[in-house]
Structure 1
Amino acid sequence: MAKYRVQTQLVFKGYFDVEADSVSEAESNVIEQCGLVLGGNIHSILPDEDVDWSFPSHPETEIKSIQKIKD
């Protein structure tokens, strides 16, 4: 039996609806204020009235590469 390293990305695709004065402010708010931690929940430190989101509970699995590392 061989051992393989499978480089994988788990991708959650969804959206954040944010209130902002410009596109760049909306982008920076999401980059700096919103996120996800494994074992936790999608979260934001923006005020509740300024943000809403929709993401699936299961990610898409994307295989990037497979390398044989051991026989």
Structure 2
Amino acid sequence: MKKRVYRIRTQYIFEGVFEVVAESREEARQKVRQNCGLVMGGNIHSTLPDEEINWAFSTHPDVKTGRITIQEKQTE
């Protein structure tokens, strides 16, 4: 039986909260969007000073799979 290559759309969703010191909701949102992030294989990070930011995130993401397609290439 020939094996096929399947392409599966997948999302890893990390959910948590940032607590940020700001003068308004919009400033807080802007600080998080511009100064906070996560990179695969890395950690949650921020360029804001420690006294202006704190966070709590799960280390295990929700995994969602979507559309599955068969690739033309086949393997033996």
Q: TM-score, normalised by structure 1?
A: 0.92
The answer as to 2:35 corresponding to 1:23 is: no
Q: Larger Cα Rg: Structure 1 or Structure 2?
A: 2
Alignment coverage as a number of residue pairs: 71
Of residues 59, 62, 70, the one that matches 1:60 is 62
CA shift for structure 1 position 64: 2.3
Identity of aligned residues (%): 45
Of residues 12, 15, 23, the one that matches 1:10 is 12
Structure 1: runs of 5+ lacking an equivalent: none
RMSD of aligned alpha carbons: 1.0
Structure 2: runs of 5+ lacking an equivalent: none
Moved over 6 A (4+): none
Q: What amino acid maps onto 1:17 in structure 2?
A: E
* Partner residue, 1:44: 46
**57-66 or 42-51: bigger deviation:** 57-66
Take 1:14 and 1:65, find their aligned partners in 2: how far apart are those partners?
26
* Partner residue, 1:33: 35
Q: TM-score, normalised by structure 2?
A: 0.86
